Homo-oligomer: A and B are copies of this chain.
Amino acid sequence: MSQQRHGSTSGNGARAGAVSAFPDLPEATIARLPEYLRALHNLGEGGADTISSEGLAAAAGVNSAKLRKDLSHLGSYGTRGVGYDVALLIEQIEYVLGLDQRRAVCLVGVGNLGHALAGYDGFASRGFKIVALLDADPAKVGERIHGLIVRHIDELPAVAVEETIAIGVIATPAGAAQAVADELVTAGVTSILNFAPCVLSVPANVDVRKVDLAIELQILSFHEHRKASLTALPGGRSATGAGNQEAVGS
């Protein structure tokens, strides 16, 4: 877990001008904010003006008390007896997540997965812009993918100069991932999204999030296994259990 430092705690609701002192939000809250944001966008397009915590919680798939506590961490943006102003809340969450500025993303590894990521419109529509595709394979360099030309990984420093890269995405095989991570760090990238199935070692100020598709399946496999053994058991219960919607996040 990244640990935050930041002394300050000056005023509180501050958030004046450009620089903002963050109330230290719990990690769990941060991981849920994007989900709230997505739900709010949906509701907004549906014409809703305000939304109650109950309604938003249902749309985001969480407990309403949890949602209220999460939102209370970023200040009081609700009205008792009425609910939350959808537009205002969207603005708030986007500000906290730093989405008011479109962040440049650099994607390394244009294989099977990287190719798909390069064309994923969810990135563009939610605050990000892929500014470079890189690969070590000379056969891939020069290829045009969704409007971008694949460049060689050695050009990373040059790319970093052209544009301030906020986030690097690693979609290479596991064997190449650590080397790529090192180069990204050298180029000044401080946030990495890693799709390679391996552990990355990075300096303390660099944040790494890992997504491993096979792991997700294996977790599901466990639950399948467990359910199968339960139904086969004497007291086996087949259709019980509490909530089961598990979402990714740390």
Bits for A143-179, please: 1 = Cβ < 8 Å to B, else 0.
Answer: 0000000000000000000000011000000000000
Task: Check: A6 CB closer than 8 A to any chain B CB.
Answer: yes
The complex places the Cα of A120 from the Cα of B18 at a distance, in Å, of 43
Q: Does A229 contact B (CB under 8 A)?
A: yes
Q: How many copies does the complex hold?
A: 2
Q: For A220, list chain B residues within 8 Å (CB).
A: 167, 191-193, 207, 209
Q: A210-B245, A215-B248 are in contact. Are A225 and B113 (CB under 8 A)?
A: no
Say how far A137's CB is from chain B's closest CB, in angstroms: 16
Given contacts A98-B222, A197-B38, contact A233 B6 (CB under 8 A): yes
CB distance from A210 to the nearest CB of B (A): 5
Chain A: residues with Cβ within 8 Å of the partner, total of: 103
Q: Which of A187-239 contact B (CB under 8 A)?
A: 190-193, 197-200, 202-230, 232-239
Let me know if A229 and B167 touch, CB within 8 A: no
With A6-B230, A221-B97, A240-B5: A214-B128 Cβ-Cβ less than 8 Å: yes
Contact A218 B97 (CB under 8 A): yes
Chain A residues in the interface with B (C-beta under 8 A): 1-8, 18-22, 27, 30-31, 33-35, 37-39, 59-61, 96-99, 103, 105, 112-113, 115-117, 119-123, 125-128, 166-167, 190-193, 197-200, 202-230, 232-250
